[in-house]
Structure 1
Amino acid sequence: MAAILGGGLGGLSTGYYLLKNNVISNNNLKLFLVEATNSCGGWIKSIRTKDYIFEQGPRTIRPKGVTGLNTLNMIQDLGLSEHVSPITPEHPAAKNRMIYVNQCLHTLPSNIKSVFQTTQPFSKPLIYAVFYDLRQPQKHMQDDSIYNFVERRFGKEIADYAISPMICGICAGDAKEISVKFLMKTLFEWEQSHGGVMKGFMKSIFRSKSGDTLELSDLARKAQEEKWNVYSIKGGLETFPTALCDHLKNNEVDIQMNSKIEEIDFVDSSTVLLKNDIGEKLQAHHVYSSIPSHSLAKLVEKQHPELAKSLNEIPFVTVAIVNLFFEAQQLITPAFGFLVPPIENSPILGVVFDSCCIPDQNGTVLTVMLGGRWFKERFGDDVTEEQLLSIAMKEVNTILKINIQPSVNNVSILRNCIPQYVIGHYERVDAIRQYIVKNNLPISLVGSSYDGVGINDVIYSAKKQVEDCI
């Protein structure tokens, strides 16, 4: 038997690829998935009514690159193509992305023309960042924070007003701690190999491109042709993992809900015992772990304390989500939303204008994000949902000038929900996987703790880990 730990997107995708590659049928194996809670989907949760959708986690998916196209292939295979709602380049949610600086909202440059214009809060046109890079000396390093790298190559304003809020939006993290390889691995390699980003870019133009290729589905080709910016799923993003879960059940995958594993015992290189909280021992020949690294650490600590220590070194942050529904229409300017740079020392990370970027919303729907890397220092350990709602409403009032109370609200505190790829993360993950190989442990690591925090990354991580075991 093969076992999957965790029924989030990583675990469900692992099951999908095990079925797709005929790993189970070709080896006459049974597959079971163990989930500690009463629902699948992990942090992807949608609250749906006839008037609004409240997304508790991610709400849109990017279609770009191999990983993005791979997700679209899966979505079509699951029969969800008709449920996809794309945002194309001319849509306000694609053109209007803002930051809040000096008590004012500023729209970030979104086209070539705007790069040559001075746009607040930047003091110069962004094209000057290119010339800044060309003047900077090379600095040899194994890794660096994405903030330091961008400040060094493009200037402090780009680091403060473009990259720092972007990192807040992607992983609720501090750009001064997050590895440059998290988002800018290629640019960093250009600096290290060629002395600068633009020098590396110019040399890359004349090189043949190589890397992973995919056979594209009709949906993936459509996304390319129409140049989708992002897309959402009608009825809420939770529709996606629900369809994945149904797909696994329809293919006789044994999904065991409310089953908490308390210890993993590696008997030999092809036998694993999973001990659950009611004293049962489930046996498998191989385990795919999609649970957070700190959760896996607890399960292997008794037998492999060194592995547990390395898994625990991957930090996570807590994020509070405040969803707001106002019956009044058009309380906001059409846009994707805004982010707040950390230098503003705001209690919020940003606000997403859901009624602009998610279809089938009546009235005005907003999602306020709070905390992340700064959750404990700003709110302490005992903050209540009522206090977080009050803070969110105060900021919405101040920034967006919305003075009425929402008709409906929902507050969720998502504890330890997003891993932080701090400096040295990728070397740490390599060392963890080398330990597994060296000790012949029949386990594969899948999901956001290791190979990327986005939806596309998690799905692609499952695909690669399954293929590596074939």
Structure 2
Amino acid sequence: MAAILGGGLGGLSTGYYLLKNNLNNPNKLKIFLLEATNQCGGWIKTIRTKDYLFEQGPRTIRPKGITGLNTLNMIQDLGLSEHVSPIRPDHPAAKNRMIYVNNELHLLPSSLKGVFQKNGPFSKPLIYAVFNDLKQPHLELKDDSIYNFVERRFGREIADYAISPMICGICAGDAKEISVKFLMKTLFEYEQNHGGVMKGLMKSFFKTKVPDDLELTDLANTAKEEKWSVYTIKGGLETFPTTLKTYLEESNVDLHLNTTVEEIEFIDASLVKLKQTDGKIVTANHVYSTIPAHILSKLVKSQHPDLSNCLNEIPFVTVGIVNLYFSTTKPLITPAFGFLIPPIENSPILGVVFDSCCIPDQNGTVLTVMLGGRWFKEKFGQNVTEDRLLNIALGEIKTILKIEDSPAAYNVNILKKCIPQYVIGHYERVEKIRQYIQEKNLPISLVGSSYDGVGVNDVIFSAKMQVEEDCTNS
């Protein structure tokens, strides 16, 4: 029997891949999924009305790369293809992405032509960053912050105005702390192996690319051919985990909501006990932990304090989310994906997503303001109220977007410790954790955003890889 800890996207995906990998198994695998809250889906939550959608967490998914195509394969298999709403390259949400610097919104270049032109707030055309990389000396490092790497290779302006706000948008983190391997592992390896990014890039052109063995569905092929920028699900992204949950239930996966595990006891290499707060005990041959590392840390502390300490070293940040709906029919914003604010601007908000441009079937103007992240406690203290976050968000919207209207509806949510931070040394830390598990022969696998990537695609692919690895080794 396999037990899955957590009913977020990682836990649901783990159940999905366990079922897929045991399709031809005459001894059907019994699967338990234990979720502490009263619903599945984790941070993916949608508030739906007839006029608007408020997304509490992710709202779009990238279709790029093997992980992106893998998600599209799953979506088609679940029967959701007709519900997919793509944003193609010519859409304003694909072309228009902005940053707010020096009290002004600046459109970032979205074409090759734009790289050769001077665009504010950059003092030179971005092509000069290439020349900067070519003249930099070789520097040997095991890891570095993504900020230091970009500043060294491409200049401080690129680090401040392009990479730092992007990191805020992806993981609400500080580029000066986040490992370069988080987003730019290949570029970092070019620098370390070839002395520079452009040198490594040029040498890679002459190498034969190894084709992956991922068979693509019609949906994945369409996304690839049409070069989708991002996509979402009609009716809200929560439709995705909800459909996954239904698939598991129809496949006889035993789902238990409102079930909190307080301790994990490893008996031997093929037996583990999950002790619940209500005194019940679930016994399994293997457990898949998809819960955040800091929560798992508490569950294994009694028996494996060293493992617990390593898990607890992965930091998390809190993000404030303010959704705003303006019912007016007059245009309040220029069509775009939204804007981000570099940390050097010292703003209380990280950025704003223009949901009425990104998400279909919205009436009026819908915006989502993101606050805090790595700087949440520093900006708002320990006990900030939702009303205060709402007033801050409205003030920033009024100042930056010149919106004087009052919202017809709003929602404020404080997502506590919602995004892990892949600080310098993260991948070595995760390797050490998994090595400990292997050496002690513990029947547990780690899945999800704490370890293998924070995006929707990363979490799903993490589940796929862990399940396939376990099935191969069993």
TM-score using structure 1 length: 0.99
Pair 1:101-2:90 in alignment: no
Corresponding residue for 1:141? 141
Q: Trace 1:273-422 onto structure 2 (pairs within 5 A).
A: 273-329=273-329, 330-422=331-423
Q: Trace 1:167-182 onto structure 2 (pairs within 5 A).
A: 167-182=167-182
Deviation at 1:394, TM superposition (A): 0.2
Corresponding residue for 2:158? 158
Deviation at 1:99, TM superposition (A): 0.1
Corresponding residue for 1:197? 197
1:172 counterpart letter in structure 2? A
Deviation at 1:28, TM superposition (A): 3.0
Deviation at 1:29, TM superposition (A): 2.4
Mind listing any 5+ residue stretches in structure 1 that lack a counterpart?
Answer: none
Q: Secondary structure at the match of 1:39?
A: coil
User: Structure 1 CA distance, aligned partners of 2:28 and 2:235?
Assistant: 37
Deviation at 1:328, TM superposition (A): 1.2
User: Structure 1 CA distance, aligned partners of 2:162 and 2:67?
Assistant: 24
Q: Secondary structure at the match of 2:273?
A: strand
Q: Secondary structure at the match of 1:310?
A: helix
Corresponding residue for 2:127? 127
Stretch of structure 1 that moved more, 153-162 or 323-332: 323-332
Corresponding residue for 1:76? 76
User: Structure 2 CA distance, aligned partners of 1:25 and 1:172?
Assistant: 43
User: Structure 1 CA distance, aligned partners of 2:390 and 2:336?
Assistant: 23
Deviation at 1:26, TM superposition (A): 4.2
User: Structure 2 CA distance, aligned partners of 1:31 and 1:92?
Assistant: 44
Deviation at 1:25, TM superposition (A): 4.1
User: Structure 2 CA distance, aligned partners of 1:55 and 1:348?
Assistant: 17
User: Structure 2 CA distance, aligned partners of 1:324 and 1:26?
Assistant: 52
User: Structure 2 CA distance, aligned partners of 1:25 and 1:355?
Assistant: 47
Q: Secondary structure at the match of 1:177?
A: coil
Q: Secondary structure at the match of 1:62?
A: coil
Q: Secondary structure at the match of 1:210?
A: coil
2:364 counterpart letter in structure 1? G
Corresponding residue for 1:431? 432
Q: Secondary structure at the match of 1:381?
A: coil
Corresponding residue for 2:261? 261
User: Structure 2 CA distance, aligned partners of 1:178 and 1:289?
Assistant: 24
Q: Trace 1:31-42 onto structure 2 (pairs within 5 A).
A: 31-42=31-42
Residues 93 and 334 of structure 1 are in contact (CA less than 8 Å); yes or no, is this contact kept in structure 2? Answer: yes
For 1:322-373, what per-residue CA distance to the aligned partner results, in whole angstroms no more than 9, with x for missing partners? 0000001321000000000000000000000000000000000000000000
For 1:292-334, what per-residue CA distance to the aligned partner results, in whole angstroms no more than 9, with x for missing partners? 0000001000000000000000000000000000001321000
Mind listing any 5+ residue stretches in structure 2 that lack a counterpart?
Answer: none
User: Structure 1 CA distance, aligned partners of 2:46 and 2:105?
Assistant: 28
User: Structure 1 CA distance, aligned partners of 2:23 and 2:86?
Assistant: 33
Residues 265 and 300 of structure 2 are in contact (CA less than 8 Å); yes or no, is this contact kept in structure 1? Answer: yes
User: Structure 2 CA distance, aligned partners of 1:376 and 1:86?
Assistant: 36
User: CA 1:251/1:24 → structure 2, altered by over 3 Å: closer, same or farther?
Assistant: farther
2:296 counterpart letter in structure 1? L
Q: Secondary structure at the match of 1:124?
A: coil
Q: CA RMSD of the aligned region, Å?
A: 0.8
For 1:140-190, what per-residue CA distance to the aligned partner results, in whole angstroms no more than 9, with x for missing partners? 000000000000000000000000000000000000000000000000000
Corresponding residue for 1:444? 445
The count of residues paired between Structure 1 and Structure 2 equals 470
User: Structure 1 CA distance, aligned partners of 2:212 and 2:263?
Assistant: 36
Residues 143 and 181 of structure 1 are in contact (CA less than 8 Å); yes or no, is this contact kept in structure 2? Answer: yes
For 1:45-97, what per-residue CA distance to the aligned partner results, in whole angstroms no more than 9, with x for missing partners? 00000000000000000000000000000000000000000000000000000
Residues 18 and 24 of structure 1 are in contact (CA less than 8 Å); yes or no, is this contact kept in structure 2? Answer: no
User: Structure 1 CA distance, aligned partners of 2:12 and 2:208?
Assistant: 35
User: Structure 2 CA distance, aligned partners of 1:320 and 1:68?
Assistant: 27
For 1:383-439, what per-residue CA distance to the aligned partner results, in whole angstroms no more than 9, with x for missing partners? 000000000000000000001110000000000000000000000000000000000
Residues 35 and 257 of structure 2 are in contact (CA less than 8 Å); yes or no, is this contact kept in structure 1? Answer: yes
1:259 counterpart letter in structure 2? T
1:360 counterpart letter in structure 2? D
User: Structure 1 CA distance, aligned partners of 2:151 and 2:75?
Assistant: 38
TM-score using structure 2 length: 0.98
Corresponding residue for 2:44? 44
1:214 counterpart letter in structure 2? L
2:361 counterpart letter in structure 1? D
Q: Secondary structure at the match of 1:413?
A: strand
2:51 counterpart letter in structure 1? D
1:64 counterpart letter in structure 2? K
Residues 294 and 314 of structure 1 are in contact (CA less than 8 Å); yes or no, is this contact kept in structure 2? Answer: yes
Deviation at 1:22, TM superposition (A): 1.1
Identity of aligned residues (%): 75
User: Structure 2 CA distance, aligned partners of 1:344 and 1:282?
Assistant: 51
Q: Secondary structure at the match of 1:367?
A: strand
User: Structure 1 CA distance, aligned partners of 2:28 and 2:214?
Assistant: 28
User: Structure 2 CA distance, aligned partners of 1:346 and 1:309?
Assistant: 34
Deviation at 1:209, TM superposition (A): 1.1
Q: Secondary structure at the match of 2:184?
A: helix
Residues 88 and 229 of structure 1 are in contact (CA less than 8 Å); yes or no, is this contact kept in structure 2? Answer: yes
